[in-house]
Chain A
Amino acid sequence: METILALAIALLAALFISAPFFLRRGRAGGEEYFPDPRAEKAKELGSRKDSLLTAIKDIEFDYGLGKLSREDFEELHGKYRAEAAGLLKEMDSMGSGNPADGWDDDIEKEIRAERSKFAFSYDDEELEKEILRAREVAWNDSPGRYCPKCGNGSGAEDHFCSKCGAKLGQPTETQNARPL
């Protein structure tokens, strides 16, 4: 009787361990494991953004408590803000691929999936709002322009978006335009 139990346990274990080789679940083969570098990069950027958020909040708090001198605070604050803006720009430029790819969505899904692992519910709408607002910061800080259709960054002199081909209007117009 016990031998049967023991064999059953061994069998179960063996099945469980070999399962991944047989249940592919629609993934393309077992080869593509290395996570997409762009998705990984997006995750890395997202995580750096989180660290920056924490850092900004911490120094604001410390300043409020009087642990940081005004000049130190302003210096650090400015530094972090600039870094955050640069990050968001980078995240943004990655998000603007061929719109048909739905690449933007992929990245956001990844980021959302990541965040949900951190045990709090992240509202989709809030995410949109935040990305929107974050973009505004970036745009307001940057000297370049952004395509109103796909959000791709382009030089100040361009007349057409290099990604999607949409016509870019006058510099003054597009600077305040909100795509999407």
Chain B
Amino acid sequence: MVETGKLSIFLAFAISIYVVCASVYGAKTGKSDFVKSARNGVLAVCFLLIIATAALVHSLVNLDFSLKYVALNTSTDLPVIYRITSLWAGQAGSLLLWALILSIYSALVVLDTRTRSRLLMPYVVAVLAAITVFFTFLIGFVENPFEALPAAALEGRGLNPILQNAYMAIHPVTLYLGFVGVSVPFAFAVGALLSGQLGDEWIKYSRKWTLFAWTFLSVGLLLGARWAYLELGWGGYWAWDPVENAAFMPWLAATAFVHSVMIQEKKGMLKKWNMALIILTFFLAIFGTFITRSGIISSVHSFAQSDIGPLFLGFIAFILLFSFSMFLYRIRDLESENRFDSILSRESAFIFNNLLFLGAAFAVFLGTVFPIMSEALTGDKILVGSPYFNRVNVPIALVLIFLMGVGPLISWRKASRENLMKNFLVPVVVGAAAAGALIALGVRDVYALLSYALCAFVTGTVFTEFFRGVSVRSRRGENPALAFVRLVSRNKRRYGGYIVHIGVVLIVVGITSSSVFVTEKQATLTKGQSLELAGYTLTFQGIEQYTTDAKNATVAKLEGYKNGKPIGIVSPEKNVYLYEGNREINQETEVALRSTFTDDLYVILMSYGEDGAATIRVMVNPMVSWIWSGGVVLVIGAIVTMWPGGRKEREEVFVRYTLHDRDRTAKV
């Protein structure tokens, strides 16, 4: 299988080059055979990369230690499921995964647009193929997953234990689905620039791919946070680590883009802005991949940790130069059809939304590359700490939450006083009431109050929207439940978007509570001693040890009570993995976590002594589960926005409307 895998990669590389040439040639000369052939080439590349991936998985599962990649990432005691997920544990494998996902997206785009936009699509296909050329080049000639060792290793190094859990198994894939997915709207945009089809076509046809990629970026970020929370054992879920930021920046830009395209669709404005924004989003996605893969930011002194660093930089420079020069070339054709009328309008709310998201992305970018920049400029490597990121992003986030509430209710073009009063009365009251109630309960932290009040405000606006929508329909005689279902299904994007906003609100509430109201205590306990924190009481029962095939475990048993009620035994662990191959990480701390609607009890076994005493650290994190639940709501909302169908009803409306109109005219 190895030879087949190797050949498939080389073929994929060669065919991708062909696709770029044939697609462009066919489009320029009008020879549809070339265009068709290129499209077939895209499908062939997808097929080939599936074969290559299957070959690698086959080698991983069968522990073919003659391959460097297999020897580095697996071991004989590794369970089969993790042999499969080790596909993306290392450099070469994850690059193959990137290429595979890109080729699948490309194939789906080709199949989806068989009869559409014949002037635009050949260029879109060419751009997607060009990106594929880069990645297949990397895996074919620089970091080949099928590279052989001079002699087969006797045993593999094994997979890092912290990667051996469900979250880390799927988090990279979801994140890649997001990162790679951004290539599609980017390809449509550059395709539009190349073909001259600068109307709304590229936005309309790339819309579902944009939403899909955005959803997976969000899911990937949340899964990464949950993994960090469960496995890294410091009680938090986000550290503003360069690798975390690498995924966050494209998410910020993509969120801005998802909103600003609505303005172009509805009012024909922001054409230049949207073009530039999607190019920026793609740049951030590739840059994020680069940061994660090349290790350039993590070390004390930056030198590329592998050969792919400079290649990535070259690729990034090329796409930026190429895209922006095409953009400037077409700039006169990207004039807007409309003007802005007033600062108090939905258009301007969207624009401020975009500016803030980009401001946040800029701040995170600056903080992330600061060490590299400072070293390049001054010779000293200077970091900015995680407080920097919070200081900058929290105020921005608060204003964004405010806009999230204002945007849907404020009218287009120009909001009048009566419109403002009528629409915002209830939500503002809800927000103020929430603030008042919290102050009465003793909350004094300004940021927390603002955050909760604004979240209540947004919730108020969303409920108002749903309520009004349902009542408008019920007035026409529909029963409310049916009205609700029909309301959402006929305006999927709008109401799906509102559901996403509710998800965001839940996440923000969770983040606010767990950041502001977290409590922590550390103590060394002997048998029978207790530790109390935030209503919880933990009584130390003693240390126990047990052995499994993989590890020697040491457990501290604590009997837990919450507000007097027993919650069972809480058992944080410290494990030593038996297998020699995992020598870098053979010790692992397993956090004991008890999650409820109101808070999480998070217990870490710091150390234990021969005298039978144990040092434990306890944290109570309020409302962390809201973050994960909010994520689920967000995904549901996103799925609603992407759900197909619903065109027929629109035609009906028009027909009915026209008839109505006809009647009126007839009377005259």
Contact = CB atoms under 8 A, between A and B. Distances in A.
Interface of A: 2-3, 5-6, 9-10, 13, 16-21, 27, 30-35, 40, 44, 47, 50-51, 53-58, 60-62, 64-69, 72, 81, 113-115, 117-122, 126, 129-130, 133-134, 136-137, 140
A79 to B, nearest CB: 11
Contacts of B414: 72
21 contacts: A5-B4, A9-B48, A13-B11, A18-B37, A21-B37, A33-B32, A35-B118, A47-B204, A53-B650, A55-B266, A56-B657, A61-B469, A62-B411, A67-B411, A67-B419, A68-B419, A81-B661, A119-B645, A122-B651, A126-B651, A133-B662
Contact of B655 (A6, A114, A115, A133): A133
B33 A20 contact: yes
Given A55-B266, A133-B655, A133-B658, A67 B15 contact: no
A9 B43 contact: no
A58 B381 CA distance: 54
B48 A66 contact: no
Contact of B658 (A6, A32, A69, A136): A136
Contacts of B418: 69
B79 interface: no
Closest 5 CB pairs of A and B: A33-B32, A20-B36, A30-B33, A33-B30, A34-B30
A119 to B, nearest CB: 5
B3 A2 contact: yes
Contact of A67 (B11, B409, B655): B409
A105 B507 CA distance: 54
A134 B7 contact: no
A114 B658 contact: no
Contact of A32 (B32, B265, B409, B416): B32
A6 B41 contact: no
A32 B410 CA distance: 50
Contacts, number: 151
B662 A32 contact: no
A34 B195 CA distance: 12
Interface string B400-435: 000000000111111010110011000000000000
A30 B201 CA distance: 26
Interface string B1-38: 10110011001000100100000001101111111110
A41 B413 CA distance: 30
Contacts of B47: 13
B31 A31 contact: yes
Contacts of B30: 31-34
Contacts of B468: 65-66
B655 A51 contact: no
Given A119-B644, A133-B655, A17 B650 contact: no
Contacts of A16: 40, 43-44
A9 B413 CA distance: 58
Given A9-B48, A35-B119, A62-B411, A120 B655 contact: no
Contacts of B565: none
Nearest to B39: A20
B648 interface: yes
Given A10-B7, A119-B645, A61 B665 contact: no
A66 B648 CA distance: 26
B658 A66 contact: no
A176 B579 CA distance: 90
A114 B115 contact: yes
B647 interface: yes
Interface string B617-646: 000000000000000000000000000111
Nearest to A81: B661
Contact of B491 (A61, A115, A117, A140): A61
B654 interface: yes
B200 interface: yes
B40 A33 contact: no
Nearest to A110: B115
Contacts of B326: none
Nearest to A84: B654
Contact of B413 (A53, A72, A130): A72
A122 B646 CA distance: 11
A54 B244 CA distance: 39
A9 B33 contact: no
A40 B51 CA distance: 39
B662 A140 contact: yes
Interface string B34-71: 11110011011001100100000000000000000000
Contact of B654 (A34, A56, A118): A56
B81 interface: no
B37 to A, nearest CB: 5
A13 B47 CA distance: 9
Contact of B469 (A30, A40, A65): A65
Nearest to B652: A126
A58 to B, nearest CB: 7
A127 to B, nearest CB: 9
B653 interface: yes
A112 B655 CA distance: 17
Q: Which residue of A20, A54, A58, A136 has the most chain B CB atoms within 10 A of its CB atom? A: A20
Contacts of A60: 657
Contacts of A51: 200, 265
Contacts of A35: 118-119
B659 interface: yes
Contacts of B521: none
B472 to A, nearest CB: 5
Contact of B31 (A18, A33, A69, A134): A33
Given A3-B3, A113-B115, A134-B658, 9 more contacts: A9-B4, A13-B44, A31-B31, A34-B119, A55-B266, A67-B411, A114-B116, A122-B651, A140-B665
A20 B411 CA distance: 52
A90 B118 CA distance: 22
Interface string B84-119: 000000000000000000000000000000011011
Contact of A117 (B7, B116, B472): B116
A57 B51 contact: no
Nearest to B51: A9
B3 A66 contact: no
A19 B204 CA distance: 31
Contacts of A3: 3
A65 B412 CA distance: 13
B44 A2 contact: no
A122 B204 CA distance: 20
Nearest to A27: B32
Contacts of B662: 133, 136-137, 140
A58 B266 contact: yes
B659 A133 contact: yes
Contacts of B33: 20-21, 30
Nearest to B465: A65
Given A10-B11, A31-B30, A53-B650, A17 B658 contact: no
A126 B649 CA distance: 12
Contacts of A34: 30, 119
A34 B122 CA distance: 12
B557 to A, nearest CB: 55
Contact of B648 (A56, A117, A122): A122
Interface in B324-379: none
Nearest to A52: B654
Contacts of A137: 658, 661-662
Contacts of A126: 651
Nearest to A133: B658
Nearest to A44: B199
A40 B30 CA distance: 14
A64 B3 contact: no
